[in-house]
Structure formats: C-alpha cells, structure tokens
Amino acid sequence: MSRFPKLLTAAAPAFVCALTLAAPPVLADTLGLGRPATEAEIKAWDLDVRPDGRGLPPGSGSVADGEELFVDYCSVCHGVFAEGVDNWPELAGGDDTLADEDPVKTVGSYWPYLSTAWDYVHRSMPYGNAQSLTHDEVYAIVAYILYSNFLVEDDFVLSHENFLEVEMPNADGFIVDDRAETEYPVFSTAPCMTDCKDSVEITMRARVLDVTPEDDSAAAPAPEPEVTQAAAPAGPDPELVAAGEKVFKRCAACHQVGEGAQNRVGPVLTGIVGQPAGAVADFRYSKALEERAEEGLIWDAETLKAFLAKPKEFLPRNKMSFPGLRKDEDLAAIVAFLQAQE
C-alpha cells in the first residue's frame, strides 16, 4: 500500500493529461487541438539566410546610411564605431587576436560568413525592438559594420547582388570537430591504477618547479625611498574642481579621464584643456571636427565652454549627442575639473 494515497489520487488526472499532451499528433488530431500553420505564418518564421546567399531578400544599403542607423539604433550598446560599450560586445577590431589567451571575437576577426551578421541584425536587432528594420536598413547597418572593420570603403553599398563578393577574413578559420572520433576514445579507456610504469624516476624537485616558497625571512628589507616635498602647483579652485567632478558624471558614459583612461564613444579627455582639437591618438573623429581641427581649433577654457553649452550649434554635424550644459556654473565647474586632469 502506498504511503501517499491522497497524493496519488490527486496526481492521477494530471498524469493522464500529461500523457495526452505528450501523445503523437495523431492522438492530438482526434482531440481537435491545433491547426495547420498558414503559409504566412511559415513565411514569418522562415528567416534563415544561408552562407551561399539563399534566403537573402532583394535590397541594398550604403555605409553612409548605415552609419546614421547604427548611431541611432546600435551605438548605445556597441559604440559609435562598433567598439563596444561596457560589457556589450565589440563588433569591430580584434585583428590577429584569435590565438591570444583572451581573443577579441568580432564580425571582422571571427565570423566566417557575412550571412550570420545579416541574419542576426535582421532577426534580433535593435535590442528591444527586433525585426523592426527594413531590409535596406539591415543591408546598410551590415555595410557600416564591414566599414568599421576596414573591410570595405566608405562609399561601399551592400546589396543582395554583391553580398557573396565580400570576403570575411576568418572564412577559412573553422575546421570540422572530429574529437568524438579522434580524442574521446583515448580519454574514455579505463585508467591504469597499478604498475603503470616499469620504473619511476624523479625528474624535478618541487623547489625547482617554483611551487615551494623560498624562506626570505633573513633578507634585508628594501630601503625606504626618500620622499621629497614638491611645491604645490597652481591650479583651479579645488571646490570648483569638486563641483566639476559631479558634473562630469553626465559625461562619463562616453568619456574617461585620468590614469588608464581609454577612448570609448568619445575620446579620452585627460589634458584636453589647451589641447588642439582632434589630437587624441587612435580615436576616429567626425569629419566636422576634423575640419575644425585643420582650421586650428584649440580647446581652451572659452572654446570648451562654448562647445559644451551648445555642441550642435558650436560644431554642426559632430557626433556628440549630448544636448549641452545650460548653467554657467556647471560650465565653469566642468572646465575646472578638466583643467585638473593633466
């Protein structure tokens, strides 16, 4: 007799129901469940794009159009230049890193087929609004990703007609996984537990292998470095700098300052005050800013305030989406903060 008669009694109908649902379709048909999918429903699900181009819809998109779309739909996660933001993946770069301990796998460095990029953008992007892009918009965004990886020129137009002409750098980087035939049999044999070797030799000592710490208790302590008091350099008002640090939090999503700072959506701003425009290494500026840099624009306190107050008015067609700081005290504070970042 069961110890749980009530439980079995209560579970019986559910068990029968589960068997019914798990039954073959022929039984489901007899219960009148479901209906054949319509052609429109099948077409909506059938989005596959194959490496040989099968499934690609007619359409085209240019790098220039793709750049605007990428900035609007993709840059918040992937950066304006597909360099990735925070933990969101990089889509560009990573050349020659696949053999590194920490390889950078991007569309340019890793993906073997361009159809994967097209299919992913078409099927899953933009984040939170998937499958809202037109076919031409998908072609344009993929064209811009190719351009960001230096695989096409800035006047390139990607279409279903030239899709297969694009050569992906890692197209030949994948091999057939034959470990099931070549390796698994080797590791699945019974391990040797007795008399596995004819003779045992000591080939290395733990101390030599550097796994036993040395006794360095008798070693003389290193002399303390001499500390010299340097004269405090004249700089901006500390209170103003502190206030500017708070204002800078509004910029920190795109810019970094200080030791170890790196270019992100915007360039590193360490030492920006007094610096010629467009001078940060390894950062791709907008054409608008490059033109002003050629004209001799210098980021002194006044030009920075003017730019940060109305970025689009001071420098039309620049890529910074920040609307600007409206308060004079915020402008003075952030410039003081940037002056302190030498």
Tokens of 336: 């003081």
**In which residue ranges of the chain is pLDDT below 70?**
1-29, 207-223, 225, 227-234, 250, 253, 317, 319, 321-324, 326
User: Under 8 Å CB-to-CB from 193, ≥6 apart: which residues?
Assistant: none
The string of pLDDT tens digits covering residues 267-311 is: 889 989 889 998 888 887 877 888 888 888 999 888 988 888 877
Contact 111, 142 (CB under 8 A): no
Cβ proximity of 66 and 77 under 8 Å: no
**Secondary structure, 3-state, 258-305:** CCCCCCCCCCCCCCCCCEECCCCCCCCCCHHHHHHHHCCCEECHHHHH
Q: Which helix (H) or strand (E) holds 68?
A: helix 63-73
Q: Which CATH superfamily is domain 60-159 in?
A: Cytochrome c-like domain (1.10.760.10)
Nearest-angstrom CA–CA distance, 235 and 341: 10
CATH code that applies to domain 238-340: 1.10.760.10
Question: Phi and psi of 184, rounded to 5°?
Answer: -60, -40
Q: How far apart are CA 139 and CA 130, in angstroms?
A: 15
pLDDT of 14 reads: 39
Number of helices (H), then strands (E), belonging to the chain: the values are 14, 4
The separation between the first and the last C-alpha atoms of the chain, rounded to the nearest angstrom, is: 83
Phi, psi of 126 (to 5 degrees): -70, 160
CB 237 within 8 A of CB 333: no
pLDDT at 20: 42
Same fold, 60-159 and 238-340: yes
Please give the pLDDT value at position 135.
96
C-alpha distance from residue 88 to each of 14, 74, 149 (Å): 44, 11, 17
In the structure encoding, which two tokens stand for residue 209, read together? 């292998």
Spans of all domains in the chain:
60-159, 238-340
Q: What is the pLDDT of residue 9?
A: 38
Q: Are 254 and 264 in contact (CB under 8 A)?
A: yes
Q: For residue 42, give the amino acid letter.
A: I
Q: How much is the pTM? A: 0.48
The confidence score (pLDDT) of residue 34 equals 86
Residue 325's CB: how many other CB atoms inside 10 A?
Answer: 20
Contact 289, 299 (CB under 8 A): no
